[in-house]
Amino acid sequence: MTVSTRQIPLSSPYLDERDEELVLEVLRSGRLSLGPAIERFEQVFAEKVGAPYAAAVSSGTSGLHLLAAIAGLGKGDEVITSPYSFVASANCFIYEGATPVFADVDERTMNLDAAAVEAAITPRTKGIVAVDIFGYPCELDPLRELAQNHGLVLIQDACEALGAEYRGRTIGSHGVDAVFAFYPNKQMTTGEGGIVTTHDEGTWRSLVSLRNQGRADGGGWLDHARLGFNYRIDDIRAALGIGQVEKLDTILSLRQAAAARYGELLAGVDGLEVPLADDADHVRSWFVYVVTLAGGTDRERVIAELERLGVASSRYLPSIHLQAYMRERYGFREGLCPVSEDLSQRTLALPFFTAIEPQDQERVAEALAGALR
């Protein structure tokens, strides 16, 4: 028997002729930036997630940064966030001079534990950045209540959670400012890009000005009312975004089916846990497929064996507080967030994307089962 060693990638975007058509239309129009595709993209996206306002930006990171700036998070302020996330959810307010405070995550959901957040609140706390990690909705209601009771700003980093639902409603529709990201490994892509949804007109106006060098509403090209950034998306990317939103329902259901297939293939494999199932309050949008290996497993050996068999995998996610720059700047050390640190040692992302072939998933499952034996 010959064993296939064709590489199965970790992720791959889902693009079609409609996307090409929409991008070509923009190229042929000559309106490459600040044109009508951006507004159209914002409209269809806002409608899709149930938010009254959306502002498209250059990345998820820039969207988060703008919300941190608008909230006035700055020097002397503490912001509580998740250590088990991508660095941007903490960097966004560090850019403004605020100090990160990491509260530990819940072992099951891998999202911020509301009790740990409450315990971390001090008189200097000004905000919370909550993350829907791996597309699983965070505990929005308890966090919102904490924010209200303590006068804190709540920002939702939904970069991985487009289409997820919390308590029966799509993320983005709950009234909390949220950020989505469109790097090519995400559910939908614009190449690079992101979008901020808000239910507050004033916040939306600030977003639109700040992403565009602080230009004033109705002011001239060289009139700058405030210190802004160039965090604009362009019309080429926005056009791609329109095409992607048009087929988002298909994308999400294909990903759901692929995740269910992995669930079946891995059900009988010893030495790992599959991702947490949905419940009445939480419906995941499948961003990545991350398994948790049993304690004591040599993860590096598993990764090397998968690699040998042509299966990509990744150590999703390292704990942010233990990154080199965090240790140097703030003196964070092991033991600060034990749940996150333990997950960081044991979680492993498998190849997962919208058009992944069932046969390739079988190969992944067989390779993983063999590596764990």
Ligand X SMILES: Cc1ncc(COP(=O)(O)O)c(C=O)c1O
By the criterion CB under 6 A, which residues form the site for ligand X? 59-61, 85-86, 88-89, 131, 157, 159-160, 181, 183, 194
Q: How far is CA 199 from CA 34, 55, 80, 205, in A?
A: 23, 11, 23, 11
Q: How far is the CB of 89 from ligand X (least distance, A)?
A: 5
For residues 185 and 206, which CB has a smaller minimum distance to ligand X in the complex? Answer: 185
For residues 89 and 203, which CB has a smaller minimum distance to ligand X in the complex? Answer: 89
For residues 61 and 206, which CB has a smaller minimum distance to ligand X in the complex? Answer: 61
Q: How far is the CB of 131 from ligand X (least distance, A)?
A: 5
Beta strand 289-293 pairing with 347-350: antiparallel
For residues 172 and 194, which CB has a smaller minimum distance to ligand X in the complex? Answer: 194
Q: How far is the CB of 91 from ligand X (least distance, A)?
A: 9
Q: How far is the CB of 271 from ligand X (least distance, A)?
A: 27
For residues 158 and 266, which CB has a smaller minimum distance to ligand X in the complex? Answer: 158
For residues 310 and 351, which CB has a smaller minimum distance to ligand X in the complex? Answer: 351
Pull the structure tokens for residue 158: 């939904």
Q: How far is the CB of 99 from ligand X (least distance, A)?
A: 19
Cβ neighbours, 10 Å, residue 353: 23
Q: How far is the CB of 195 from ligand X (least distance, A)?
A: 10
CB-based closest residue to ligand X? 60
For residues 84 and 332, which CB has a smaller minimum distance to ligand X in the complex? Answer: 84
Per the CB < 8 A criterion, the answer to whether 284 and 135 are in contact is yes
Pull the structure tokens for residue 174: 């709950």
For residues 101 and 367, which CB has a smaller minimum distance to ligand X in the complex? Answer: 101
Q: How many CA atoms lie within 13 A of 262 on its CB side?
A: 28
Q: How far is the CB of 252 from ligand X (least distance, A)?
A: 17
Q: How far is the CB of 184 from ligand X (least distance, A)?
A: 10
Q: How far is the CB of 63 from ligand X (least distance, A)?
A: 8
For residues 88 and 153, which CB has a smaller minimum distance to ligand X in the complex? Answer: 88
Q: How far is the CB of 164 from ligand X (least distance, A)?
A: 12
Token pair 């329902």 is found at 249
For residues 63 and 243, which CB has a smaller minimum distance to ligand X in the complex? Answer: 63
